[in-house]
Structure 1
């Protein structure tokens, strides 16, 4: 039986986790064969282990560029112009939050000409989460506008579909009745909150009563890839011994965010997704120069309270709670996607259109997030694959 071949291009663990959401829409279709490849990337060292955990069929990059596929999916632009297939490009995080000011390709990451037209080649489709991005394309890269499809955001949809399961996630994490969970979140880069963790971690461990508070640390996979898992675990070894949960890069972090009582974050995607949960937040870092000024991340940086280096942490968490109003963040949440709850339907329709075959005769349901392992197990590197 001849099968159509779908290629998933996995540059990094972050890209891979986003594409697993998309590939789940092709499950149970015996007409398709999904294949994976891992192009060279500065933060790609963990990708082989990530793909090995999946048990996926992996083709060498050098072989892939000599083959033909019926569809290709990529959440990053590097090298994809060499792939012979109708290509769908997708963002790998929430909206388009980061601004690149240096180098030869400045602009909003994910919306630069080099991102939209990799190698100068037009893809078959450019997936965006919100209609607002169409105005940017019309202004900055009009060639990409006819190829743009407003698809929505899969992580937004999974989180919102799972909010009612919060109590179960908290029990699975091992939180006792009445215990509070503080989740510290960091994107990657010199201006991320991880760059300030040497000051924040002692406060999380020393100022919060251990009997009533638990802490979890959620660091961008690029930090793990850039420094190496050994080094990151070495830096955080004392934290794990004192009971902090360290979420490994391959784990599904989304249920941990849903379970949080507070989020201490920065200008990355996870913090923005945290606005969906109703957890009050403090910002440990929000560098203006790295934030897309037209993004919901800029609005969040202007609205959420900033972490103070001098005031007691417990007082700041109390302040975040008493000053927080869920409705104050409604405009920020609405900028994550203009197609809430519709990503699965929109994305599946686009893929099958490019494949030239009909969709399977069932609704693509939004599956709630799986329960996380206990906080104590994160130190062993055990976690749930994101899918």
Structure 2
């Protein structure tokens, strides 16, 4: 078997240890809890590219939705340590977008949010006082002590969220920007190339239907929307984007099976391993709920319809809540094509630009900000070049894949 075949078949499960060719590197551990967290952290890995002083390893942390993480690691071709071994090893830097298990690791932890816009509140059963997911004490402290040495957030508004929900973490919170914001902004200039790669004709209109996970998600009531997509939008292409936690929680076969009768050449389910950002860039309309994808849609010129919004589960001070107060709400009784036309007619770019500006207060500067932070923690001088935003890879064509 060739080395390329080995990398495609799965991550290398070994630690070179004393046999490593570059044993004196600073050791960085990337902790992946789920596909979403892994893709989030993957965006910052280019800051270590070509630096022979740094060695990056990966581990899969315990999490309810870590099914599918192996595929992320296989794509990266990285060295994967078993969780138990990672917990026994000291690292010079630990990167994580989740909180579960971080207190078990040894080394300075840098935490990032795993979504945009501090939208969702923690579940009622998780804590007596609901906090913004990822920003409360249960996410940043252990036994009364702050665990990370740094919490890298996207916007100045996040400082207020930390001050409210976990004030003891405010001194270690640093605003660095948002990687997805920067990469989408760069990709908007290549919209035509992304549409062509997806297989869209120039005159073909694409509707992106996006759902987060959980009881308040659009997927929870997708059975009422899918038949309408089939019958009411004959002149449109539709891409259905389902949160990776749904795939991880129920399995790929089950998700495709549930949607089988609705899918075909005109309505395509985007696989969780595919990057959602080129599809968002290519879309002419977005129908979404309170997930991050809908919020990122404010960066594009696509009119947005809100399919479902559980206000009691949403931070009312978030840009996501502002979007729900701005965009038209999907009606169950009016024709979809009429509602899309209405959303286009009522669309005011300036209103959505104001919302998009709340995603990142360091536009175009994420790689610079995160590199400064990480190399400070590593106690290394930064490489002598300006970091660049990575262009998004051109997507694979929108092709129907049935249950297997």
Q: TM-score range by the shorter chain?
A: over 0.9
Matches within 5 A, 1:1-80: 1=22, 2-80=24-102
In the TM superposition, what whole-angstrom CA distance separates every residue of 1:10-44 from its partner, at most 9, and x where no partner exists?
Answer: 00000000000011211111111110001111111
In the TM superposition, what whole-angstrom CA distance separates every residue of 1:224-261 from its partner, at most 9, and x where no partner exists?
Answer: 01111110011122333353221111211101000000
Task: Pick from 171, 180, 186 the counterpart of residue 146 of structure 1.
Answer: 171
**1: distance between equivalents of 2:223 and 2:245?**
18
Aligned to 1:182: 207
Aligned to 2:292: 269
Q: Does the C-alpha gap of structure 1 residues 363 and 137 become closer, same or farther in structure 2, counting only changes over 3 Å?
A: same
In the TM superposition, what whole-angstrom CA distance separates every residue of 1:166-225 from its partner, at most 9, and x where no partner exists?
Answer: 11111111111211000100000011001111111111121112xx31110011000101
Report the number of matched residues.
Answer: 378
Partner SS, residue 43 of structure 2: helix
**2: distance between equivalents of 1:121 and 1:61?**
23
| Structure 1 stretches of at least 4 aligned residues deviating more than 6 Å after TM superposition | none
Q: Is the 8 A contact 1:266 1:283 kept in 2?
A: yes
- Answering whether residue 345 of structure 2 is matched by residue 322 of structure 1, we say yes
- Answering whether residue 368 of structure 2 is matched by residue 345 of structure 1, we say yes
**1: distance between equivalents of 2:116 and 2:264?**
33
How far off its partner does 1:54 sit?
Answer: 2.1
How far off its partner does 1:136 sit?
Answer: 2.7
Q: Is the 8 A contact 1:100 1:108 kept in 2?
A: yes
Q: What RMSD, in angstroms, separates the aligned Cα atoms of the two structures?
A: 1.4
Partner SS, residue 108 of structure 1: coil
Aligned to 1:204: 229
Aligned to 2:138: 114
Task: Pick from 172, 190, 197 the counterpart of residue 165 of structure 1.
Answer: 190
Q: Is the 8 A contact 1:74 1:90 kept in 2?
A: yes
Deviates more, 1:141-150 or 1:65-74: 141-150
Deviates more, 1:99-108 or 1:347-356: 99-108
Aligned to 2:16: none
In the TM superposition, what whole-angstrom CA distance separates every residue of 1:90-115 from its partner, at most 9, and x where no partner exists?
Answer: 00111211012511422110111111
In the TM superposition, what whole-angstrom CA distance separates every residue of 1:259-285 from its partner, at most 9, and x where no partner exists?
Answer: 000000000100000100110010110
Deviates more, 1:109-118 or 1:343-352: 109-118
Q: Is the 8 A contact 2:47 2:371 kept in 1?
A: yes
**2: distance between equivalents of 1:104 and 1:375?**
38
Q: Is the 8 A contact 1:159 1:254 kept in 2?
A: yes
**1: distance between equivalents of 2:123 and 2:398?**
38
Gaps of 5+ in 2: 1-21
Task: Pick from 376, 380, 398 the counterpart of residue 375 of structure 1.
Answer: 398
Q: TM-score, normalised by structure 1?
A: 0.95
